[in-house]
Amino acid sequence: MPAGRSAAAARRVTRAAARWRAGRAGVLIVAIDGHGASGKSTIAAAAAEATGAALVHTDDFFLPGGGPGRGLDQYYDWRRLRAQALEPLRARRGASFRRFDWDRGRGLGGLVTVDPAGLVLVEGVFSASPQLADLVDRTVFVDTPERERLRRLRGRIAPEEWDDDWLIAEQAYFGLTRPPASFDLTVPGSGPAGAAEPRSGSIEAQLHGSSGQPG
């Protein structure tokens, strides 16, 4: 279990999931969304470990490329996310899919298998999007101050790899499509300002710049 705010946030997610599951039949799917570098992956991993939940990452379904005016729905292969991950898990079947190849920055890489479970956590930017809403039962927003998020990102991304178009699309998503007030639960992001975090190859940590290990 992570320390500090991440641990407290994971416990809040775990307790909320238990409440949401109480008295209901079938699989519960919870989206853990938030701005890039807010600490979603850390919180989701801890909550999954504590509950035995199946865990899916939106970054495994990333679509490369960008440009002015591109919405977040064009940064993710959400149709494949639905068909290959969320729909089978909703039906209590195992999911199997190939993840985006972050080392090459294009195409698909290794095979991912996710065992079925009564609780499914789908984490990452865009996980609470309207395109997935009919498969997602509850939503969690990870709230980390912008200054801290950008500090983390600046520490991981080379200047030539910085993607302002991604940030604009992300701001539009959380400003208009999924504002924080629209979520079922808000939890604080991981770590105090200045705390070290593992380097990540995910879009929220890297803004599809440098490659590395998912975090």
Predicted local distance difference test score (pLDDT) of residue 1 = 52
For position 163, what pLDDT does the model report? 78
Cα 113 from Cα 128, distance rounded (Å)? 22
Q: Are 15 and 185 in contact (CB under 8 A)?
A: no
pTM score: 0.87
- pLDDT tens per residue, range 14-34: 999 999 999 889 999 999 999
Grade residue 36 by pLDDT with cuts at 50, 70 and 90. Answer: confident
Q: Is residue 66 pLDDT above 70, yes or no?
A: no
Rg (CA), the chain: 16
Is 70 exceeded by the pLDDT of residue 166? Answer: yes
> What's the mean pLDDT in 175-189?
97
Q: Per-residue confidence at 69, pLDDT binned at 50, 70, 90?
A: confident
The per-residue pLDDT for range 92-151, each reduced to its tens digit, is 999 999 999 988 889 999 999 999 999 999 999 999 999 999 999 999 999 999 998 888
Task: Tell me whether strands 95-100 and 108-114 are parallel, antiparallel or unpaired.
Answer: antiparallel
What fold does the segment set 4-206 form as a domain? Rossmann fold (3.40.50)
3-state per-residue secondary structure call for 133-196: CCCCCEEEEEECCHHHHHHHHHHHCCHHHCCHHHHHHHHHHHHHHCCHHHCCEEEECCCCCCCC
Q: Where are the domains of the chain?
A: 4-206
Which residue is it, tokens 């699989």? 27
Q: What is the mean pLDDT of residues 5-11?
A: 91
